[in-house]
Amino acid sequence: MHRFAPFPLVVAISLCLLAGAAVGGFGFPSAKGLDVFDVVADPFAYEGPITVRGGVMRADLGKGRFELVDYREYRSCRSVDCAPKWITVFYAGDLPQKGAVVEVVGTVEENAAGAGGFVLRAKGVRIK
């Protein structure tokens, strides 16, 4: 009588998982958080720290600021240069590069230097 050997099954499942991971890895970086269009529509309605996801349109190293465009539009159009609306982010740490997908944790502040009269003062930026 044959004894059931789990090894082939383990290898088969591992191969399937590897294949899945390989296919998934080709996609656009996933990110979680509020969308830029959501925040731009009514920025001062958000209280306390919020997480905003988006693509980096440009970064100004000298001023410690970068512009964030809508994640879903970036994902669909694959370009950060044609966005109709964006958020200005002030960040004291290392700035992400143009085209990076990021999750920004910060608070909305009134500031004439930002698009729409506000900026997002970031406490943290996660590059995806």
Which residues are at the interface with other proteins (CB under 8 A)? 2, 4-5, 7-9, 11-13, 15-16, 19, 23, 27-28, 30, 34-35, 37-39, 41-42, 44-48, 50, 72-73, 75-77, 84-85
Q: How far is the CB of 81 from other proteins (least distance, A)?
A: 13
- Enumerate residues 6+ apart whose C-beta is below 8 A from 4: none
Q: Is residue 103 within 8 Å of residue 53, measured between CB atoms?
A: yes
Q: How far is the CB of 62 from other proteins (least distance, A)?
A: 31
Of 42 and 62, the one with the shorter C-beta distance to other proteins is 42
Of 29 and 64, the one with the shorter C-beta distance to other proteins is 29
Rounded Cα distance, 16 and 111, in Å:
51
Q: Is residue 68 within 8 Å of residue 54, measured between CB atoms?
A: yes
Q: How far is the CB of 90 from other proteins (least distance, A)?
A: 21
Of 15 and 113, the one with the shorter C-beta distance to other proteins is 15
**Cα–Cα distances in angstroms (integers) from residue 102 to residues 36, 98, 125, in the given order:** 12, 11, 7
Closest C-alpha to 20, from 12, 32, 31, 9: 12
Q: How far is the CB of 67 from other proteins (least distance, A)?
A: 17
